[in-house]
Structure formats: structure tokens, C-alpha cells
Amino acid sequence: MLVGHDKQDGESTDHNVVKKNIICSSCDNNCLLEAEFVDGELKTFHPLNGPRSFCEKPFFWKDYRHHPDRILHPLKNVGKRGEQKWVQISWDQALDEIAERLQKIIDKYGAESVAYSTQPINTGDDQGMLRRFFNLLGTPNYMTGMNMCFGNTIQVHRCTYGNNQLADYSKAKCIVLLGHNPHRRNWASEANALEDALERGAKLIVLDPRTSENTRRAHLHLPLRYGTDAAMLLGFINIIIEEELYDKEFVDKYTVGFDQLRERVKEYPVDKVAEITGCDPDMIRQAARMYATSGGSIIPWGPIPDMQVNGTSAARCTAILISICGFLNKTEMLQYPDPDLVSCSVLELHGMLPMEQKLKQLGTEKYPLLTYKGYEMLREPNKKVFGKDWLNLFTSFMCNPASVFEAMRGEGPYPVKAFFALGSNALMCYVNQRGAFKGLMNQDLIVVQDHWLTPTAQLADYILPSDYYMERPALRNQDHSPAMNLQQQLFEPLGESRNMYDLLKGLADRMGLEDYFPWKTFKDVLDYRLQKTGKTYNDLKNNPTVLPSRGYDPFTEGFATPSGKIELYSSVFESLGLDPLPYYREPAQTPISNPELAKEYPLTMFVGVRDKALYLTNYRQIEGMRKHNPYPEAFVHPADAARAGVADGDWIWVETTHDRIMLKTLIDAEQPQGTIRIPHGWWMPELEPGLKTGLSGAMLFNDAMILPDDDWNTDREQGIPNLRGGLLAKIYKADQISK
């Protein structure tokens, strides 16, 4: 382990107190914090977004940064794929060899044979450089786990009113949480905003099958059946229209498609919605009325409705509710690209990727909405309203991950033979993990940049050490949000850790693309983005948040949609052959749709319990965090546990029609009977790496093993896999495994 003090970059060690702002990248809430140094040593953190507390994750920075397992030097695997025969090499050797092997693959199979995966919300914002490099290389095959979480919702909202919207808790008089449960150990800054709103007297409606911290203080709790969020929201819309609680003037002036919407939601009378969701019809009416009449309501984004077979329809419903009640730019603020910055979308050089290559994007024909093809009708409206042909709202123009892994296995329209996982534990973060594993084993080149020997990295040819978020400057801004948050660099990177930009520039310089990467350092890229302001990063780095010089008024400037209005009936969907209105369909595997299968698999499964001390597949190395969640646990109702003959703490198999995983039983009376809730992202870094241990347990414990990517289990519009209701499972006792 490295020893010694962690002194702040560029500061003296005189007796003084120095404070620097950072954007905590420990999870996706990205809290703004103030780091306090005393005599040059980091001592503590304070919240910058209010007086309330935040979670414990940033306090484990030293355990993380100096962990003995952190990768600090480039590594090359000199054995077969999956053999753990690593040798340390130099960055120059790694980049030389990667560039040479990558070029050979492109020459043989075409540029589209390269695919890449990242997690943009946690990798320090690459400022458009990632897609710039791969667009210039000629591949359209970009993917991220945000394809099924947030990215899919943003795409639906931009088709409705031209961009994403952000709920403003400070103005809300009523808050609707769709299974979303912000609390102090996850989503801390949002939990603080919720707390402030409730103290001001805002009303709270929670739609959640379980009892949680927030259902206990809700004014209305609707314990709907897993996977029926879209049906509930369709019922809300029907009630609001039927009882004329919508904003008629707003609808007449700013929307199109209201008459078609009215006819569609008549198919969802409250009694039918009550039957589908399992909720009391009077409570459904009461909730819809409360939302519409409270004087300004919000539906904060949360991941629960996204990952359902009706995920796109649920997102359409939230956008429609916001619109017909007139809450857009009142309590739900429409976002826009910052006019004072050089746009990430511009830097990504999407225009340099030929249309021929764009149309090769995997999944385009089956699930076009989130792809380049799906964006075509939005190009002209974006240029007209925002002045940009290509407007990437964080996760736009993506391929379909299942289609990528098919091509990696040799089952697609063309082969994918080179794969880059940059800050992404890609094996574990999608679904059909066994299929993903087969695809990775079939690659000619795998490059990983990460902190750890993750299960994905265990299959790589090269692992390159990434800097830690406190070891780099950051400018957190994407085109879905006008606010710009800046982070000061606290430390120099340890070992030979480098920023993602260094990797991309190093490859670009070796592959004839050096003219497109003229910036010597990542900080130079930040300065380039700021040039229109007349400021540099150093000029602004003490300001945690910088707001744009002017706002955007869609009511006078227009909405970036084909009609120039809010599209309740989506012309983009219609052009792609998709249903232009939201709907509900019963998932293929429920006791209602498949009662015979439910006899063998009696539990309806909810996937994605967020362990309070962990985040996705990360932090299981950190002892102080892992002690709160030492093992992967399945939440099971006492009656279901008794029926299966398992006790609290027993190791069990959780089996679906796709595969099975091993978890520990957590008997929980608040888990609805007949259901099971399982966590996401489990592996055990303490197990030996390699194929013999199932890649440190990833092939034994991770939820993606039991989740299929078949069409019957995906959202029709975007191919989003169903994790949150409508997948049947059974449990049975497993042999005890050792610690």
C-alpha cells in the first residue's frame, strides 16, 4: 500500500485551511462538495448544495485511491483470453500495440467491427472526445448502461418537447415518486431537496409496491403491482382529461395531438387501471386530482419505470402529464445547451461519420428510436431552435447493446471483433450476461481502462490505469442541461494513471487522426470549451456552478420538435412505425399472462435493489463500505420463504427460465407476497480472478445472468430489457458457500 500524506496539488504546507470544490462521482447523483484541506492534507468534506448531509461514500476516498488492488500501471495479458497472465508494460508500448492491432481489425472487417462501452455520468465527462475519436475512426457502435436508464427517457422527452426537463423541487407543491426512493445514503442531494419541499408543505404521492422511507411519510401511497407504472399513469391522464383538470389554454396553444390522446386514454378507465395495478380506484382518482390541482407538481426522474416492457410508454406518460397540466417551465424546467460553451455535441463530430456508417449502427432496424436513424426527424428542429445539427443529450445516437453482443458472437449482420470498455464493467451492466461473455470471448482485441481488475478487465488484452475523479479537473456540462459545474483537481494521479483523453489522443496520434486532437492535455480541452466566455478553466475553477448568460424560452423560441410544439401524439414515433401514443401491455411472464408458468415459477421478480453503501458494480473492494453489504441478498416475504423451505441468511438459487444465480436470503415482511427483489452488480473481488471462479463470482452472483434479452422481454420501441416487473422466478436452497 502507498503511504504518506495526500497533499493537494500545487498548495503549500503552511498552517492554513484551503477549500476546493469537487463533483462527487461516487454515484450518479454527482453531489457538489467542498473539500477542506488543513496544512495541505485533505481532512473532510462539506455539502455545497445546501446545509444538509450527504452520504458516506466520499469519506472513503483514501481507501479507494490507495487501495492495494488499484491498477496503477498498464498491463498486458500474455496468455489466452481469460487467463490471468499479466505483465506490466509502458503506456507507449500499450498504445503502439493497440493501435496496430486495431488498424488490422478495421482493415479486415471494416470500422463498424469496433464497439465501445462507457458510463458517461461517472467518467468525468470526456467533453465529447470519446465519440469524437470513434466517429473519426468510422464506427457508430457506441453503448452505455444508460441506454436502459435515463438515456431512454431523455430520448422520449426530446420527441415530446425537444429536450429533457428537470424537476424543480424548490417550486413543487406536489411530488410524485414512481418507485423512486431518494435517501441520505443514495441520491443524497435529491433527498435533501425532497426534505426541504416537504418541510415547506409540499404533498407527496409515492407509487411503490414496497413500504419505504418515503411511503411512510407520503400523503398517498399507491402500492401498485410491479411493472404497471404505465397503466397507472394512463389512468391519471384519463382522469385529468375526463374531469377537465388539465390546463386548457396551455394545451390549445402549445400542444398537438390532444384529441388523439383523449381517445387513447379512454381505453384506461379507473376501474380497469385498478384491476391492472391492484390499487384502490378511489386512491387512484385522489392521486390524479392531487397532482393536477396542487398548483405546481413534479415527477422527478427515477430509474424504476425505465426498465420495463412499457418503459417508453411510461416516459411518454410523464411527459404528457407535465404538458397537459401546464407544468413545463413552471415546476418542470425544460433544459437546453449552454450558449456560452463550445458544445460537446459539436466536438463529437457526428457529421464526420458517414451516413452509410450511421445506418450500420447495430439495432437500427429493430429498435431505431435511440439510434442515428431515430434522430433524423429531430435534426432540423434542433438546428432551428438550438443552432446545432447534432444535439447529444448525454446518451443519444446509441446502438442496441443486445445487438452488439449478438454481433460479437458472430450472430449479427456483420462481426464485431474489437471492444473497448472505458470506465465500464460492460460484462455485468447489461443483460444476458452469458451471451455477453461469449461475445467477449470471441473478440480479437479487448481494451479496458479502469481502476480495478473487474470481471470485464479479466477478459481483456490490455488494461490501462484510469485516474480517480479527485485526480483530474472537471467541467460537468452536457447539452441536456445549461448549468456548468466545475471541479478542482485535488491530487496528482497516482502511479501511471491517466485521463481517458490521454488514451484517446495517444491512439489518435498513432492512427493518423492527430490533427483532430490538437490539445496537449485534458485541461486544454476544458479551456477550448470555455473560449466563448473569454475565461479559462483556471479563471473559473473556484466557482462550483456557473449559469449561462441567457436562458431559453420555448414559448417564444419554439420547441425543438418537427411541429415546433409539444407533441402529445409523436410524429417521430409515427415516422418510425411506432405507436405515436402511450399504451400498456401485460408482460409475457406474469401470473396473469402466463398462469401455467407461474405454477413452476411462483415469484414475480424485481431487479435492481441498490445496496446503500455500494454503487452498481463498484466499491466491493472497500472494506468500510462492504461491511454494510457483505453479501448479495434477495428480499423475500416470510410466507414465500416458508413455502420454499428457506430461512433468513440461507444461500438460495434464484432461477428464471433463462438461468440462475446464488444469493443470500433476507426475509422481509415489507416485500410484497409473491414477489422477490434482487440486487444489481454483484461480484466478489476477494475471489481469485479468472475463469475458474466465474470471473471472481460475476457468473454466479450477478443479476444479468438471469435476465434475457429476447424480444418478448424488451420494450418495443427502444429494446429496453424488462428488469422491474413481469419476469417470473423461483427459489430453492443452495449448499452453503464459504466466506
| CATH number of the 595-733 domain | 2.40.40.20
Long-range contacts of 552-555 (CB under 8 A, 24+ apart): 552/334, 552/336, 552/482, 553/329, 554/161, 554/162, 554/328, 554/329, 554/334, 554/385, 555/254, 555/329
Which residue shows C-alpha cell 503502439?
96
Please provide the distance, in angstroms rounded to a whole number, between the alpha carbons at the two ends of the chain: 24
- Looking at the predicted structure, is the pLDDT value of residue 3 above 70? no
- Looking at the predicted structure, is the pLDDT value of residue 505 above 60? yes
- pLDDT for the residue numbered 184: 75
Distance CA 18, CA 36 (A): 6
Widest Cα–Cα separation across the chain = 74
Which residue shows C-alpha cell 415546476?
331
- pLDDT for the residue numbered 481: 77
- pLDDT for the residue numbered 611: 76
- Looking at the predicted structure, is the pLDDT value of residue 265 above 70? yes
As a whole number, the mean pLDDT across the chain is: 93
Sign, Cα dihedral of 530, 531, 533, 535: positive
The boundaries of every CATH 3.40.50.740 domain in the chain are 75-143+342-469+493-522
- pLDDT for the residue numbered 2: 25
The angle, 0 to 180 degrees and rounded to 10, between the axes of the packed helices 500-510 and 91-109 is: 60
What amino acid is encoded at 384 in this protein?
K
C-alpha cell at position 43 = 481532512
Q: What is the mean pLDDT of residues 598-615?
A: 89
- pLDDT for the residue numbered 50: 63
- pLDDT for the residue numbered 326: 98
The boundaries of every CATH 3.40.228.10 domain in the chain are 165-334+554-575
Confidence of residue 690 (pLDDT cuts 50, 70, 90): very high
Three-state DSSP class for residue 428: helix
Three-state DSSP class for residue 126: coil
The boundaries of every CATH 2.40.40.20 domain in the chain are 595-733
CATH 3.40.50.740 describes domain 75-143+342-469+493-522: yes
- Looking at the predicted structure, is the pLDDT value of residue 576 above 80? yes
- pLDDT for the residue numbered 190: 87
- Looking at the predicted structure, is the pLDDT value of residue 371 above 90? yes
Distance CA 405, CA 148 (A): 15
- pLDDT for the residue numbered 112: 98
Which of 28, 39, 63, 389 is catalytic? The answer is: 28
526-569 tens-digit pLDDT: 999 999 999 999 999 888 888 887 789 999 999 999 999 999 99
Confidence of residue 110 (pLDDT cuts 50, 70, 90): very high
What whole-number percentage of the chain has pLDDT above 70?
96
Q: What is the mean pLDDT of residues 656-668?
A: 97
- Looking at the predicted structure, is the pLDDT value of residue 186 above 80? no
CB 25 within 8 A of CB 124: yes
122-138 tens-digit pLDDT: 655 789 999 999 999 99
Q: What is the mean pLDDT of residues 185-212?
A: 90
- Looking at the predicted structure, is the pLDDT value of residue 738 above 60? no
Q: What is the mean pLDDT of residues 675-703?
A: 97
| CATH number of the 165-334+554-575 domain | 3.40.228.10
- Looking at the predicted structure, is the pLDDT value of residue 68 above 70? yes
Q: What is the mean pLDDT of residues 447-454?
A: 97
Sheet containing strand 462-465, edge to edge, reads 86-88, 75-77, 462-465, 445-450, 418-422, 114-118, 141-144
28 is catalytic: yes
C-alpha cell at position 725 = 416487473
